[in-house]
Amino acid sequence: MQQQEPVVFNNLSCDALYQRYASGIFAYFYKQTASRDDAEDLLLEVFLAAMERSNLANMHEEERKAWLWTVARNKAADYYRRMTRHPSVNLKQVETSLYIDESQEPEQITLKHEEYARLRSTIARLPEQQRDVLQLRFAHGLSCAEIATVLEKKEGAVRMQLSRALKFLRSIYGRR
């Protein structure tokens, strides 16, 4: 195969791609790896691949998106394989302790105000899927369509989960 010179793919398009898809792909990696550092590394790998992919600029938007997500899922699969061969942490445990890890970050704020505490405890009582959707919506700023891609679910199902979660949370604001 002919060795191609690394082509720095159209700057504007690459920047636009990053703006459009990096949040979603990062959220996906963060959920998959439960490690911020690992998620950042994987995200970097995906976009380095994008920068060196010379024909990406010629693709339609949907094709570009599909390509990026294919790379992302392959990277995650590679990561899993590495983790399986060199298990340093139990993924299940990491997954469930994610919330606690976040609260240990130096910049993390423990919101002890009565209302926020009530909101947080109510969130904690939600089913896991609804908590995931809330976090992806509010902490990662993803739309339902993007969340659906991250969670590999149908958008309608995500909308339903988010709707249910918000309607339940309304109850603590004097509604039922």
Q: Which residues bind another protein (CB under 8 A)?
A: 5-6, 8, 11-12, 14-16, 18-20, 22-23, 26-27, 30, 36, 39-40, 43-44, 47-48, 51, 102, 105, 107-116, 119-120, 123, 134-135, 137-141, 143-145, 148, 155-156, 159-160, 162-163, 166-167, 169-170, 173-176
Phi first, then psi: give them for residue 71, nearest 5 degrees. -60, -45
Give the 3-state DSSP-derived string for 92-126, with helices as H, strands as E and coil as C.
HHHHHHHHHHHHCCCCCCCCCCHHHHHHHHHHHCC
Nearer to another protein, 89 or 117 (CB): 117
Nearer to another protein, 10 or 73 (CB): 10
Nearest-approach distance from CB 45 to another protein, in angstroms: 10
Nearest-approach distance from CB 96 to another protein, in angstroms: 16
Nearer to another protein, 22 or 83 (CB): 22
Nearer to another protein, 86 or 175 (CB): 175
CA-wise closest residue to 25 among 151, 165, 132: 151
Euclidean distance between the first and the last CA atom of the chain, given in angstroms as a whole number: 65
C-alpha 7/C-alpha 176 separation (Å) is 57
Nearest-approach distance from CB 20 to another protein, in angstroms: 6
Contact 29, 38 (CB under 8 A): yes
**Biggest alpha carbon–alpha carbon distance for the chain:** 67
Nearer to another protein, 80 or 156 (CB): 156
HSE on the CB side for 29, CA within 13 Å? 28
Nearest-approach distance from CB 170 to another protein, in angstroms: 6
